[in-house]
Amino acid sequence: MLAHAQFDRLKDSVVQVYGFVMTADSLVGIPGVTISVKGRNQGAFTNDQGVFSIPLLKGDKIVFTSIGYKPIEVQIPRDLKGNQYSMIQTMVTDAVFLPATIIKPRPTREQFERDFVNTKVPDDDIEIARQNTEAAKRRILLRGLPNDAREASNYYLRQSATRYSYLGQAPPQNIFNPVAWADFIQAWKRGDFKNTNN
């Protein structure tokens, strides 16, 4: 009976949020907006028309971010009735002015070579960098780490850009790509395709 009551309470606290994200000035949907939940590794992103859907808990705070727009934080009401909530979110463009950078060259090539060769890098930093860039360690991390909202949105944007660049024509086939063949052969030599269940 207690487990049933806890399940009912948990079921009542979950809400499916549907929404539309658009520009504040022209009311046009913004594609690829990242919607991330504060305090949890959960998120979503808007589709090509600016529409999104995400399951949340009542009282969750979500942050809308997109390149060229000011981030916005919104809290889902705690006293919400029912398990569905729809919202329309506007975003304001954000102009970013970077400080001026002045690049000054070394007076002579000899001075640059001397300074470059004599730059002292601690051995600890070199060893840490070497360990972080090992191919085996990168493969292990890629298998175990889940994608966060930012990585998911970047993946979506890359896929959309590829789809739009070949719109109206047949995309290239990797079977004719020599770079893809080279990657396949290297993966075969490394043993990436071995059956690990045995």
pLDDT at 119 over 70: yes
What percent of the chain lies above the pLDDT cut of 90?
Answer: 23
Work out the pLDDT band at 8, boundaries 50, 70, 90: low
Work out the pLDDT band at 177, boundaries 50, 70, 90: confident
How far is it, in rounded angstroms, from Cα 83 to Cα 68? 33
Work out the pLDDT band at 64, boundaries 50, 70, 90: very high
Per-residue pLDDT at 106 = 66
Adjacent-strand bridge partners of 53? 18
pLDDT at 196 over 70: no
Work out the pLDDT band at 20, boundaries 50, 70, 90: very high
Helix (H, G, I), strand (E, B) or coil at 181: helix
The full set of domain ranges for the chain reads: 2-91
User: Of 90-94, 115-119, 156-160, 172-176, which has the strongest mean pLDDT?
Assistant: 90-94
Average pLDDT, the chain: 82
Please check whether residue 8 is in contact with residue 20, taking contact to mean a CB–CB distance below 8 angstroms: no
Per-residue pLDDT at 9 = 60
pLDDT at 12 over 80: no
Per-residue pLDDT at 71 = 92
Work out the pLDDT band at 19, boundaries 50, 70, 90: very high
Helix extents (H) in the chain? 2-13, 109-117, 123-132, 135-144, 149-165, 178-190
How far is it, in rounded angstroms, from Cα 176 to Cα 163? 19
Nearest to 91 by CA among 109, 73, 115: 73
Q: Considering the entire predicted model, what is its pTM?
A: 0.47
Instruction: Give the least confident one: 31-40, 56-65, 145-154.
Output: 145-154
Fold of 2-91: Immunoglobulin-like (2.60.40)
Per-residue pLDDT at 112 = 82
